[in-house]
Chains A and B, each alone.
Chain A
């Protein structure tokens, strides 16, 4: 398979896995016993809230830094152009 199709397949697989894990975490775990073997696959339930919040913050940081980077680069280009013009 071509590389881009593999990347697409990986994206689909990650999306399905994340959805299945999180849905089981939220909807199935409260109804099973403490002693059930299924519990060993899942982190403590309060992480089901902390993880998305953490990921949101990291994502926001990433987007903000990218925007800031582009703005700084543009400002530097403007300064370079202005200094070249006045020369």
Chain B
């Protein structure tokens, strides 16, 4: 199955478990149900945001400079700009 199908299935399964717990079909301790369950989706969202930001920061910290690849990239950018100018597309 595709990544999209897999993602949708995961979200659906997690939501099903969450709503089952929230509706009280299964008996859960009172503190858990009233104090923690309503906050779980938001905690998931905050954790995902923190994970994304942290991974970006870590990637920036551990990035190794590659001088020759940088020069190669500049040459490729100039080639691409020439190509698009020849085709008539304006670039700023």
Closest to B58 in A: A12
Which of A19-27, A34-42, A64-72 is near enough to bind chain B? A19-27
Main secondary structure of the interface of B (DSSP, over half): helix
Given contacts A19-B50, A26-B36, A30-B36, contact A8 B43 (CB under 8 A): no
For this complex, into which size category does the number of interface residues on chain B fall?
20 to 34
Q: Decide yes or no whether A43 CB sits under 8 A from chain B.
A: no
* A7 to B54 CA separation, bound complex (whole angstroms): 11
**Is B77 interfacial (CB-CB < 8 Å)?**
no
Prevailing SS type, chain A contact patch: helix
Give me the interface of B with A, judged by CB distance under 8 Å: 31, 35-36, 38-40, 42-43, 45-47, 49-54, 56-61, 63
